[in-house]
């Protein structure tokens, strides 16, 4: 698990190479941003942040970069409130809780939700990944809703 800037740099570069992707400044900037911002940002938010470092990164470049990182399995796509796609770096596997009222997205640790052993799958299938999205009301919104 990387801790300081240098370790993050090495980790990001290692992940890109392991996925067979060249290390480009844009890919590095997107992964680095997602690494330090675990807020599940939208593509627009990522674009704004990356553009502070690379003022020439076009919207298409940022979207293509996110697509490539997603295809390579380094970034996870999530469908948040209103169908807006949100992005998350895949440092360690985790699930998500999404509040349907305020759109809050919270990470849920895998070890706190063990469902893998009980999956009702056809025999012969091999599970490689499991992403659970729990939708509902967060504590704050629940208070408001229940008065």
Within 10 angstroms of residue 72's Cβ, the number of other Cβ atoms is: 16
Q: Select 102 or 134, whichever has its Cβ closest to Zn ion.
A: 102
101 sits near Zn ion (criterion: CB under 5 A):
yes
- Say which residues have a Cβ less than 8 Å from residue 91's Cβ, sequence separation at least 6: 1, 35
Number of residues that bind Zn ion (CB under 5 A): 8
102 sits near Zn ion (criterion: CB under 5 A):
yes
Using the contact rule CB under 5 A, the part of the chain among 16-24, 41-49, 92-100, 116-124 near Zn ion is 92-100
Which of helix, strand or coil describes residue 110? helix
- How deeply is 56 buried, as exposed, middle or buried, from its count of CB atoms within 10 A (0-12, 13-18, 19+)? exposed
Is 56 assigned a ligand-binding role in the annotation?
Answer: no
d(CA 145, CA 147): 5
Using the contact rule CB under 5 A, the part of the chain among 12-20, 46-54, 65-73, 139-147 near Zn ion is 139-147
Q: Tell the smallest beta-carbon distance from residue 39 to Zn ion (Å).
A: 9
130 sits near Zn ion (criterion: CB under 5 A):
no
Residue 30: both structure tokens together: 């997107």
Is 138 assigned a ligand-binding role in the annotation?
Answer: yes
Using the contact rule CB under 5 A, the part of the chain among 2-10, 22-30, 97-105, 125-133 near Zn ion is 97-105
Can you spell out the DSSP letters for 29-58? Answer: HHHHHHHH--S--BHHHHHHHHHHH-TT--
Binding site for Zn ion (CB under 5 A): 88, 99, 101-102, 104, 107, 138, 141
């Amino acid at each position: 698990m990387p801790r300081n800037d240098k370790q993050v740099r090495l980790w990001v570069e290692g992940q890109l190479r392991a996925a067979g992707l060249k290390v480009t400044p844009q890919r590095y900037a997107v992964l680095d941003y997602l690494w330090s911002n675990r807020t599940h940002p939208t593509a627009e938010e990522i674009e704004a942040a990356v553009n502070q470092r690379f003022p020439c990164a076009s919207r298409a470049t940022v979207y293509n970069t996110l697509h490539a990182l997603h295809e390579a399995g380094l970034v996870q796509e999530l469908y948040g409130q209103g169908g807006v796609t949100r992005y998350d770096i895949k440092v360690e596997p985790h699930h998500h809780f999404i509040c349907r009222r305020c759109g809050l997205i919270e990470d849920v640790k895998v070890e706190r939700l063990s469902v893998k052993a009980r999956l009702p799958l056809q025999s012969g299938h091999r599970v490689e990944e499991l992403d659970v999205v729990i939708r509902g009301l967060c504590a704050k919104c629940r208070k408001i809703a229940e008065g």
